[in-house]
Amino acid sequence: MSRPRDDAKLDRVRALMADRELDALVVRAPDNVLYLTDYWCMKGYDLAVFPREGEPTLVAMEPQEEEAHASWAGDVRLFAGYDPSDPRPPTARSVEVAQTVIQERGYGRVGLELSLGTQATDRMVGEPTTYTHDFFHAFGPVEDGTPLLVEARAIKTEQEIERMRLANELAAEAMEHVRGLLRPGMTEAEAAAIWQGYVHGVGTGYRGQVDLAFPFSLVWSGPGIRTFTATGSRPVVEGQPTLFEIWVCCDGYWADHTKNLCVGELEPRYAELLAALQAVYDEAVAYVRDGAELAGLDRLVRERIAAAGYPGQPSHPICHGVGARAHEPPYPHQAADGAFEEGMVLAIEPGVYWPGGGGLRVEDNFLITAGGAEKLSPFPDGVVSVAA
């Protein structure tokens, strides 16, 4: 899906490059290539050379020539995925093309993603690519460009927010779809497949504004609710929550939610937990405003959960950024410096998990505005009832 060049985003990156006296960035992480060129690669072998001045260069595999020329890059250089005269892997050819660009243009100080810890998926999803030693040593003396990209990406532009709204709204539609079909005895995996099928089937071509939509999910019901466990063949339990930990990716931009359905009337013990957790969640959302301390949010949530009778909960982070990656900075843990800023998009996700299984989590995505935190998903928080 071709979109107008997001100059507000690219100008911010170039201003940060000027501050750091970088002539160019060379990026390979699929989310950073997308961020700088609006090109979402298939295999993760592609590169972008983004200069402080002048047009960016996209180094793309030949089969994606059409998508590459629809990108924001003013210069597209293609390389072969397979070359009968060159037995090396394709990444060797993409790096050589990028080296040629650097040499042709005489760039001096170059930034690479030297400290990148994670990256978002490419379009192939199941075939993640990794960096090689040769990539990190291909461009001479380099600077770490990751902090620059983290700072730039933390504040979303109007175009980015609109793209994330699409992902949020698609995730909500899929929840409404599964809400109408969920039944006791259905397995967690069957419930997940219904949700995933809607996202991929309806989301690809969604509203004429999305080329490709991918679903990712973890679904647990009743005693199956545990953090860091996979969806299983456990049955949907009447009177207990079925928790959907869900991610939607629309053309490289993400939504990250936790939504809960309950077939029949929610059991009293879960209703009590929901009331306590919802109060913590509401206070956390109210806290997240421009200028509020990052570390203060984590302290607030954990103190309130402990006061409700669940010290040490949850075992996972309670907030993170969302954008061209499902989990990206800022990470408001208690060792974090800095403050929330207008324009950030966050996932806020307090949870409580009982020993032996069961529990609850609530999560949505919020845009920090001048007036506070704006919820991006139209699907309700808490536990949504399903007719038995």
Measure the CA–CA gap between 86 and 381, rounded to whole angstroms. 55
Residue 121: per-residue pLDDT: 81
DSSP state, 151? H
pLDDT digits (tens, 9 = 90+) for 164-210: 999 999 999 999 999 999 999 999 999 999 999 999 999 999 999 99
E strand or H helix at 258, and its extent? strand 253-263
* pLDDT (mean) for 77-102: 94
DSSP state, 370? T
Residue burial 10-28, b: 16+ Cβ < 10 Å; e: rest: bebbbebbeeeebbbbbbb
Q: Rounding to the nearest 10 degrees, give the CA dihedral for residues 144, 148, 153, 154.
A: 110
Pick the CATH number of 158-386 from 1.25.40.10, 3.40.50.300, 3.90.230.10, 3.40.50.2300: 3.90.230.10
Long-range interactions of 313-317: CB distance < 8 A, separation 24+? 313/351, 313/352, 313/353, 314/227, 314/350, 314/351, 314/352, 314/353, 314/361, 315/227, 315/228, 315/353, 316/227, 316/228, 316/349, 316/351, 317/349
* pLDDT exceeds 80 at position 1: no
- Parallel, antiparallel, or unpaired for β 345-348 and 319-321? antiparallel
E strand or H helix at 48, and its extent? strand 47-51
* pLDDT exceeds 80 at position 307: yes
Measure the CA–CA gap between 266 and 251, rounded to whole angstroms. 37
| Category of 348 on φ-ψ map: left (φ > 0), alpha (ψ -120 to 50) or beta | beta
Q: Which of 352, 382, 362, 320 is nearest to 226 (CA)?
A: 352
Q: How confident is the model at residue 110 (pLDDT cuts 50, 70, 90)?
A: very high
Say how many C-beta atoms besides its own lie within 10 A of residue 194's C-beta: 17
Measure the CA–CA gap between 21 and 255, rounded to whole angstroms. 34
Q: Which residue type does 138 have?
A: A
Please check whether residue 45 is in contact with residue 129, taking contact to mean a CB–CB distance below 8 angstroms.
Answer: yes
pLDDT digits (tens, 9 = 90+) for 2-57: 899 999 999 999 999 999 999 999 999 999 999 999 999 998 899 999 999 999 99
Sign of CA dihedral 147, 17, 347, 128: negative
pLDDT digits (tens, 9 = 90+) for 249-295: 999 999 999 999 999 999 999 999 999 999 999 999 999 999 999 99
pLDDT digits (tens, 9 = 90+) for 113-170: 999 877 888 888 777 678 888 889 999 999 999 999 999 999 999 999 999 999 999 9
Task: Give the start-to-end residue ranges of the domains of the chain.
Answer: 7-154, 158-386
Domain 7-154 coded CATH 3.30.420.40: no
3-class DSSP state of 369: strand
Residue 153: per-residue pLDDT: 97
Which residue in this structure is represented by tokens 């698609």?
170
Measure the CA–CA gap between 56 and 210, rounded to whole angstroms. 24
CA-based radius of gyration for the chain: 22
